[in-house]
Amino acid sequence: MTLLLLSLAGGLGATLRFVTDATVVGRVRTAMPVGTLTVNILGSFLLGLVTGAVTRAALPEPAAAIVGTGFCGGFTTFSTASVETARLWRADRTGLAVGYAAVDLAGSLLAALLGMTLAHL
């Protein structure tokens, strides 16, 4: 049953990633891939909350796998962020590529830390 729910959550996460990315890109005009940046930071925050809840024993492991691995795994996208960074680099937008990679990494790390911290309050 966990495997089925994990799969469904992954599909839901991927669908929500697509919708979120399209919504953000449709509203924010910039060369930086802000849609992917948004989903990675939001997903990292949610995974931080889930991880924090598990360490406090407030969330059982199967639920954590469904939400963390399934939903967050489908929602976030390291591979797309990597390809978008490489595309910026190849388009001679090196500064933007480095800035985007740094913001994606730092923003995601800070969001995960915030989520973990909030789960422990």
What is the C-alpha to C-alpha distance for residues 25 and 112, in angstroms, rounded to an integer? 23
| Domain around 92 | 2-119
Contact 61, 54 (CB under 8 A): yes
Answer yes or no: are the C-beta atoms of 6 and 62 closer than 8 Å. Answer: no
Q: pLDDT by residue (tens digit) across 57-93?
A: 888 989 999 999 999 999 999 999 999 999 999 999 9
pLDDT at 48: 97
3-state helix, strand, coil in the chain (%, to 5): 85, 0, 15
Report how many domains make up the chain: 1
pLDDT per residue as tens digits for the range 27-51? 999 999 999 999 999 999 999 999 9
> What pLDDT does residue 116 have?
97
